[in-house]
Amino acid sequence: EPEVTQTPSHQVTQMGQEVILRCVPISNHLYFYWYRQILGQKVEFLVSFYNNEISEKSEIFDDQFSVERPDGSNFTLKIRSTKLEDSAMYFCASSIGTDSYEQYFGPGTRLTVT
């Protein structure tokens, strides 16, 4: 069965550094998402992406964050200057379209900012 994949599984970075989290959505899916889960807290929506542009974003998704689909398969989340509070699990998800609300989640990338 097709799966969403994410790399790396764990990323450690120093405060102020830039990080790029990578995701490969399911190949025929058209909508892509990033979510964040701070340890012990709920999963929070960051951004959705369709047709090479952001379709919706939360207030968490400030100017430090950006997303990109650099080629036909990858979907990336960049954090320009990481802060301690960016430490979290980051989940990528994809869905086939707006008439199918089921989102398929990747295994997540654990980001640790020191």
Partner 1 sequence: AQTVTQSQPEMSVQEAETVTLSCTYDTSENNYYLFWYKQPPSRQMILVIRQEAYKQQNATENRFSVNFQKAAKSFSLKISDSQLGDTAMYFCAFISNTGNQFYFGTGTSLTVIP
Q: Name the residues that contact partner 1, by CB under 8 A.
A: 31, 33, 35, 41-45, 48, 50, 55-56, 58, 89, 91, 95, 98, 101-108
What residues contact residue 79 under an 8 Å CB cut-off, 6+ apart?
18, 19, 21, 64, 65, 86, 111
With H, G, I as helix, E, B as strand and everything else as coil, classify residue 103. coil
Residue with smaller CB distance to partner 1, 87 or 103: 103
If one counts every other C-beta atom within 10 angstroms of the C-beta of residue 69, the result is: 17
Closest distance between partner 1 and the C-beta of residue 42, in Å?
5
Residue with smaller CB distance to partner 1, 8 or 16: 8
Closest distance between partner 1 and the C-beta of residue 46, in Å?
9
Tokens of 54: 């952001």
Cα 68 to chain centroid, rounded? 10
Closest distance between partner 1 and the C-beta of residue 107, in Å?
4
Closest distance between partner 1 and the C-beta of residue 54, in Å?
11
